[in-house]
Amino acid sequence: MKTIVKALIIVMVAVLSSCISDEVGPAGPMGPQGNDGPKGDSGFVFEFEQINFTGPEYEVFLPFPDDFESLSSDVALVYLLWDVVEVDGVDTEIWRQIPQTIITNEGMLQYNFDFSIADVRLFMDAEFDLALLGAIDTDDWVARVVIVPGDFWSSARLTSGDIQYNDLEEMLGLPELTVPNSVIKRRQ
């Protein structure tokens, strides 16, 4: 029986290896010219300051401006201002994309969000009672909500699940926003 199995494996390997070739066939005809990609102003960013997560829900709704029309195909990305550090004498903002999970003395804590065509809901989730948290975890957050049009999102440029805010700002041609001077140092 072992001999038959070995023989079958050898035959299968021989058949499959005969299908592999290093040769490349002739190039096909040139396809039609595609549409140009977005030239900036293809995304929208909204900044929200002084966000406080308060109990018992520990959630905050961030409504889109009345003059903004969101489409059901749009995608929202949310970034929290985590820190401002000095780099070469210049204050540099550190933005973290959420969901963001941190480990506290009490257990794991997660900042998360969901969105609709009208708003973004930020919320906290933890393995422990959120009432145990201090102001460093709940108060005075700054958030940037980036609305990415669905056609841009589906392009090959946005394939990563973790997109740095500065990269997204450049890709979408987002305006440069300023952050208030008083930023709370957050947990690392």
Query: Quick one: average pLDDT of 68-79?
Result: 87
84: number of CA atoms within 13 Å, CB side?
12
State the pLDDT at residue 74.
86
How high is the pLDDT of residue 156?
41
CATH architecture designation of domain 44-65+74-172: Sandwich (2.60)
Q: Per mean pLDDT, which range of 53-62, 92-101, 105-114, 174-183 is the poorest?
A: 174-183
Single out the residue of 144, 155, 123, 106 nearest to residue 52, CA to CA.
123
Q: What is the pLDDT of residue 3?
A: 79
Q: In this model, does residue 103 exceed pLDDT 70? A: yes
- List, for residues 135-174, the tens digit of each pLDDT value: 999 999 999 998 888 765 555 455 445 666 666 666 666 6
Assess whether pLDDT exceeds 90 at residue 100: yes
pLDDT at 15 over 80: no
Residue 56 CB neighbour total at 10 angstroms:
7
Q: How far apart are CA 140 and CA 137, in angstroms?
A: 9
Tens digits of residue pLDDT in 29-70: 776 765 554 444 467 889 999 999 999 999 999 999 998 888
